[in-house]
Structure 1
Amino acid sequence: MMDFSAAKGPKLTLDESSVLDIGACIVDGNNLAPGRAIPDDGDPRIDHSLEGFLFTCGPDHIRHPQPMPEGFEGKRYPLHGSFSSHPAKILWTKFEDGNAECRADIDIVTAEGRSAKLERHWRIDGATGEVSLADRIVNTSTEAMPVFLMYHMNVGGKWFDEGTRLSGGMLENGGFPWTFGDELGGIFCVPASEKSEAGAEVRLGPIAAIGGKTLRVRFGTETLPFLQVWRNQRAPAHVLGIEPVSHRWVSRDELEEAGEFNILKPGEARNFMLNFAFV
């Protein structure tokens, strides 16, 4: 894990062994990542990544395993795709004028044996404390391929109290308490917002344990047009996930039939953007 922080904002660790995703996210001395308070999904790559504050799903698949096409002998796409566990090649890091930046490339081999590259750029603004992620996925194979993406931002439920709420223009009535759904959990996926340069914004807070701050998440809706939110309090799990995502919450077959695959030809690329701050 690589320490990554600026003059202001959270203190992060970036996982060089797994796509340079975020492990710890420390705010006011508290690590908001869920750690071991997560479900056992039976996939050690995801089990490891779920412990952290942010992990990335895709590019060949998102959400739970589904059968692969003919020619793959009854295999299934891995849980949340093939990104996790691919090591990052860090090209450079900068800590200048209170700001922090890190640029890395990650070469991916998909479940279907195709190749792709994730060009990843992390920034923390030392004046505002805002963390920004710019991702570019390039099809480096010789075949066209659909590209999916989901960011899982997982926060430990132990940090929340009765005053903590989800809020955003895409949510019913503009928001509701973080304990939505059934007693022990729930999940929903909604259109993020109208497409705009500003993207979509969702907030989680206030969180008394970090001085009443609120987690503000913004993401580009041109390539992440949906927001999924997941809550799991089935022991030992105690976690809430804010999950900007590229596709509706339906089966892979249904997406394909509806013409909703995002196809990248060889050499083509697709950009994804996310940023967050504690305000």
Structure 2
Amino acid sequence: MNPYIGNESQLYGIEEHRLSGGRGDGMRLLEVNNGKGLELTVSLDRAADISRLRFQGINMSYFSPCGYVAPAYYDSVGSNWLNSFTAGFLTTCGLQAVGTPCVDEGEELPLHGSIGNTPAGHSYWTREEGCLVIKAVVEDEVIFGRKLRLNRELRISLEENSFVITDTIENTGARKEPIEILYHMNMGYPLLDEDSEVVIPAESIVPRDGHAAGDIENCLKMEKPQAGYVERCYYHKFKDADGRASIYQPKLGCGLEIAFDAEKLDGFVEWKMMGIRDYVLGLECGNCYPDGRDIMRKTGMLKFLEPGGKAEYQVKVNIFQR
């Protein structure tokens, strides 16, 4: 033990808090500090997603106008998912659906699925050599239907400003199930503004629609907030498994890089939204595109898990300075 301190929380640690008041009343939050300048807030009642990310006191992520919203307020009809889209640094989309609401083989599917509005039924944290570790189990299971379980581990380094998300999705049912997951990672001001430098070293870029195609040459160029801005999405395809995307803010001298296996997470999306107060850049790796599960089935991109099967996905986030 360090003889200069009474408690290790003087240097680093995790504290659990509960929100009071508003639509987030009662939500459990883990406030994480690695002692090197990295701070993150883990929302246990929202799939152990990351609602806030800060570095040396600087906000790195986007926090939407609706703020914290408890799962009790989740509305699965159509696109009403947006009414509880806190965004934060990470909102997990899936597991039964990602993207556009649709009907797939007779099943009506909402925008981005329900996992991001599902509380962790079991969670704990511990300290291991050189890192803080948070583990959570989120069950996406219903009678007469899908039985999928998300086992999430967040490993936060105490030696550098980075953390790793490792998710194991398990099919606990007796039938073959489709699985979709999208790591909806949302960059926000002041990391994000018109001077931000975005790098996505992909082999090819495909605009999601005609509106995005009309401005594809500026897809990596950020702009000032604009009234009436219509979102633009671009699908970046990597040459091999080395998937990466970064954003750097020269005025702050710091940036953030996301690294992932682009063969497992083969559906990377850049979501560019330069609206007033709706000002966010999504750097989103997933195992599908957000076009609806029916479209993914038709294109052959939809993934499946056999009964008892497991799929593991991992994303590393690194904060860097120049």
TM-score range, shorter chain: 0.7 to 0.9
Shift of 1:37: 4.7
**C-alpha distance after superposition, 1:156-199 (max 9, x if no partner):** 245434431211320669x832349x99342111213313xxx3
The DSSP-based 3-state class of the residue aligned with 1:127 is: coil
Matches within 5 A, 1:149-168: 149-168=181-200
Measured on the aligned residues, the alpha-carbon RMSD in Å equals: 2.9
TM-score normalised to the size of structure 2? 0.74
The range that moved more, 20-29 or 232-241, is 232-241
Q: Which residue of 2 aligns with 1:105?
A: 137
Q: Tell me the distance in 2 between the aligned counterparts of 1:207 and 1:85.
A: 35
- Find the partner of 1:263 among 296, 299, 304: 304
Q: Which amino acid aligns with 1:54?
A: L
Number of residue pairs the alignment of both structures matches: 267
Q: Which amino acid aligns with 1:203?
A: S
Quick one: structure 1 residues 120 and 207, their matched pair in 2 at CA, closer, same or farther if it must change by over 3 Å?
farther
- Structure 2, unpaired ranges of 5+: 1-28, 68-74, 206-216
Shift of 1:58: 0.9
Q: Tell me the distance in 1 between the aligned counterparts of 2:66 and 2:270.
A: 15
Q: Which residue of 2 aligns with 1:14?
A: 42
Quick one: structure 1 residues 243 and 146, their matched pair in 2 at CA, closer, same or farther if it must change by over 3 Å?
same
Shift of 1:45: 5.0
- Find the partner of 1:178 among 216, 219, 222: 222
- Find the partner of 1:190 among 222, 230, 236: 236
Q: Tell me the distance in 2 between the aligned counterparts of 1:110 and 1:79.
A: 18
* % identical aligned pairs: 23
Q: Is the 8 Å Cα contact of residues 223 and 274 (structure 2) preserved in structure 1? A: no
Shift of 1:139: 0.7
Matched, 1:36 2:82: no
Q: Which residue of 1 aligns with 2:209?
A: none
Q: Which residue of 2 aligns with 1:235?
A: 276
Shift of 1:136: 0.5
Q: Which residue of 2 aligns with 1:142?
A: 174
- Find the partner of 1:62 among 95, 98, 108: 98
Q: Is the 8 Å Cα contact of residues 12 and 23 (structure 1) preserved in structure 2? A: yes
Q: Tell me the distance in 2 between the aligned counterparts of 1:5 and 1:192.
A: 33
Q: Tell me the distance in 2 between the aligned counterparts of 1:244 and 1:253.
A: 19
**C-alpha distance after superposition, 1:239-272 (max 9, x if no partner):** 1111002124544333222332211111101111
Q: Which residue of 2 aligns with 1:203?
A: 246
Higher relative contact order (CA 8 A, sep 6+): 1
Quick one: structure 1 residues 251 and 213, their matched pair in 2 at CA, closer, same or farther if it must change by over 3 Å?
same
Q: Which amino acid aligns with 1:57?
A: C
TM-score normalised to the size of structure 1? 0.84
Q: Is the 8 Å Cα contact of residues 264 and 287 (structure 2) preserved in structure 1? A: yes
Quick one: structure 1 residues 141 and 18, their matched pair in 2 at CA, closer, same or farther if it must change by over 3 Å?
same
Quick one: structure 1 residues 51 and 257, their matched pair in 2 at CA, closer, same or farther if it must change by over 3 Å?
closer
Q: Tell me the distance in 2 between the aligned counterparts of 1:11 and 1:111.
A: 39
Q: Tell me the distance in 1 between the aligned counterparts of 2:250 and 2:112.
A: 29
Q: Tell me the distance in 2 between the aligned counterparts of 1:26 and 1:56.
A: 19
Quick one: structure 1 residues 22 and 228, their matched pair in 2 at CA, closer, same or farther if it must change by over 3 Å?
same
Q: Is the 8 Å Cα contact of residues 7 and 98 (structure 1) preserved in structure 2? A: no
Higher Rg of the two aligned structures: 2
Q: Which amino acid aligns with 1:151?
A: Y
The range that moved more, 152-161 or 216-225, is 152-161
Q: Which residue of 2 aligns with 1:5?
A: 33
The range that moved more, 94-103 or 123-132, is 94-103
